[in-house]
Amino acid sequence: MDTHSVTFLPIGVTVSVERGTDLLTAAGKVNLEIKAPCGGDGTCGKCAIIVKSGKAKARRDSHLEVRMAAKGLNLACQTLIEDDDLVVEIPKTSSMSKHQVLVENVASGDGASDVLREYLLSVWQLKDLFQEKRENPLHGYPLNPLCRWVQLTMPAANFQDNRDDLSRFVLTLRKETKCTDINVSLSLLHNLSDTIRIENFKISVLLSEVSGKAEVLAIEPGHCHQPLYGIAVDIGTTTVVAYLLDLYKGTVVDTAGTHNCQARFGDDVISRIVYAVDEPDGMKNVHQSIIDTINTLIQDLLVKQRKIKETDIRVIMTAGNTTMAHLFLGINPKHIRLEPYIPTANFFPVVKAQELGIRVHPNAPVFCYPAVASYVGGDIVSGALFTSMGKADAPVALLIDIGTNGEMVLGAGDWLVTCSCSAGPAFEGSGITFGMRAMHGAIEHLMIDPETYEVSYMTINNGKPLGICGSGLIDGLAKLRRTGIIDRAGKFQTNLPTERMRFGETGPEFVLVWAADTEIDRDIVISEADVKNLLRAKGAVFAGIQTLLNIVGFELDGIEIIYVAGGFGNYLNIPDAIAIGLLPDLPIEKYKFIGNSSAKGACMALLSAEAWAEAQDVAGKMTYIELSVGNLFMDEFVSSLFIPHTDLSLFPNVDI
């Protein structure tokens, strides 16, 4: 086999790969994460690398590659290893760093003015609502974890009571737990007789019980008190977050989060489905990638919590969108993207951790939140459970989760309608010239002086700016409009008295940060093309809301509460989101940040069998509306492509 080595700088990791392998794949083999929003299609230009030495060739001479080559860059996904060893540098702008999974404090960036800081503090007070709820993972449900130890004292066998050991065990357990349907595996039967006699018919039984059905996971002699932990995982398309839970106390011990390693196969679910279905070993690779991500998080948690062992983790609960659930379980996702968009399953079987290769106790049951449809998944059901929208006395609410897509649920109690609008990943930085995810160095808030057009900004972790993330883009759009830099259709006013306004490669653009102040030595700009992309994304979300309201014949004013979910929601500036027409013009008191409600719902279900039973119920109650059928959504979408909207009567309090 003709193999060559590739050394990736600045880390200095070397990998040996076959001739003809592309550099994105080579980096993936040593777990180096290079940004690849288009999944290696050669169209996004975010996987730029520098070939320092050795011979590589371009897969094809695309327009994008020629432009990159002029800057001394190559696209990792389109650069193939030739007949030499290579040394390659991954610039900071192309490498994935840790995500900002939860930020508790308002931090000031170098460029943040006092006015900006003060303003942000006032906006941030909304976050208290979210933090209040986060402290109680049970959120009103009784502590009754999906996995628990039960101590039994069985009647001893003798000539009068000569039942077989299994019957004796099952009958005693049934009396103790009220479970009617108890399953004992063959492997536990092998040593049952000896185990129950070690401590004279006193035993401890590890049980996973849901709705009267119980699976016996372990049987130990005597009345023991063994450590008992569970992991709740939110499998996001972009970010994966794990919560380590103490199942005796019902508390969160620790949390860890990172980006989803599947990102190297594309930013959005469609790219990942295409990769899984079309590439050789595609399904195996995307499946293994999410398993590796979760195993890394578990190891991170165990390194921090040294007293807890892998085998002390006895149960796992996951919540994710429908594609993520399919890829996690290794189920073919092909038909999720083909009309009429039918997933293989909405309700998933419980599997053992060892079947998936998750590094906890091998027998730990792994639960997956039920989905509603191909584009409304378990993460939304989990969020709906967290908000109690399905309860009989719940107020009429709108739950919005703005992530890679915009999913929403409207209703209360027994009526819940839901849809997903293809907002696209613009708010996660995709398709935006200097767009990036919420990572170190991303501009997350900014202000523009209406007279001088000078820009103040704040970045995540106070890093030197690398780009701009979703919350920064919303701030940016609102401020560009407020200062008159763009008109209501997103068109730039090119005759402004500032050198920040100029013409770039794709047309008019406004400089947010000058190169000297950035980490990337390039001016960070927002272009007219970026603005158009953002208008399409915000228009899709608002059109989705309007379509749901029209379908059920409900007025906007009738909504009593709006839950804003998602990692993005933690940092969203609500007044600006209303001002650009992303969110409805309703009193700000009606808005509640609920943060990562998918993860919180997963914790609740893991800690309470009652919550888990209700999650199934909530999924069953939701009516899915397919927006691609009929013209209703498209008409609303076209009307929503202005700031804030073509129909200003929908935004009576917005004055930009």
Q: Which residues of the shown chain bind ligand FES in the complex (CB under 6 A)?
A: 36-38, 40-47, 75, 77
Question: What span, in angstroms and rounded, lies between the C-alpha atoms of 525 and 254?
Answer: 38
Nearer residue to ligand FES within complex by CB, 79 or 293: 79
Question: Do the bridges between strand 213-221 and strand 181-183 make them parallel or antiparallel, or are there none, so unpaired?
Answer: parallel
Shortest approach of ligand FES to residue 464 CB, angstroms? 24
Nearer of residues 60 and 307 to ligand FES, judged by Cβ: 60
Smallest distance from ligand FES to CB 39, Å = 6
CB of 34 to ligand FES, least distance (A): 8
Going by the DSSP 8-state scheme, the letter that residue 242 receives in this structure is E
**What is the spatial distance between Cα 542 and Cα 406, in angstroms, rounded to a whole number?**
9
Cβ proximity to ligand FES, 109 vs 429, nearer residue: 429
What is the DSSP secondary structure assignment for residue 347, as one 8-state letter? Answer: S
Nearer Cβ to ligand FES (96/389): 96
Q: How far is the CB of 46 from ligand FES (least distance, A)?
A: 6
Minimum CB distance to ligand FES, residue 36 (Å): 4
Phi and psi (nearest 5°) for 286? Answer: -70, -35
Which string of DSSP letters, residue by residue, matches 301-332? HHHHSTT--GGGEEEEEEEE-HHHHHHHHT--
What minimum distance in Å lies between the beta carbon of 23 and ligand FES? 10
Tokens of 65: 């590659």
292 φ/ψ angles, rounded to the nearest 5 degrees: -60, -40
**Smallest separation, CB 216 to ligand FES (Å):** 48
Cβ at position 266, least distance to ligand FES in Å: 8
Residue with smaller CB distance to ligand FES, 56 or 559: 56
The Cα 606–Cα 141 span in angstroms is 11
What CA–CA distances, in Å, run from 611 to 111, 133, 605, 608? Answer: 45, 16, 5, 5
Helices then strands (H, E): number in the chain? 18, 29
ω into 575 cis (within 30 of 0): no
Residue given tokens 């202005």 in the structure block:
642
Quick one: 38 or 485, whose CB is closer to ligand FES?
A: 38
Q: Is 2 exposed, middle or buried (0-12, 13-18, 19+ CB in 10 A)?
A: exposed
Nearer to ligand FES, 43 or 623 (CB): 43
For ligand FES, the closer CB: 40 or 601: 40
The answer to whether 392 and 385 are in contact (CB under 8 A) is no
Identify which of residues 48 and 534 has a Cβ nearer to ligand FES in the complex.
48
Q: Tell the smallest beta-carbon distance from residue 100 to ligand FES (Å).
A: 23
Q: How far is the CB of 404 from ligand FES (least distance, A)?
A: 16
- Report the distance separating Cα 154 and Cα 160, nearest Å: 15
Q: Any bridge partners for residue 446, and if so which?
A: 457
Alpha helices (H) in 392-527, listed in sequence order: 470-482
Length of the chain: 656
Which of 407, 374, 373 is closest to 566 using CA atoms?
Answer: 407
Three-state DSSP state, 14 = strand
Q: Least distance in Å: CB of 82 to ligand FES?
A: 18
CA 177 to chain centre: 37
Q: Residue 322 or residue 430: which is nearer to ligand FES going by CB?
A: 430
Alpha helices in 43-100 (DSSP H): 63-70
Output 46 or 621, the one with its CB closest to ligand FES.
46
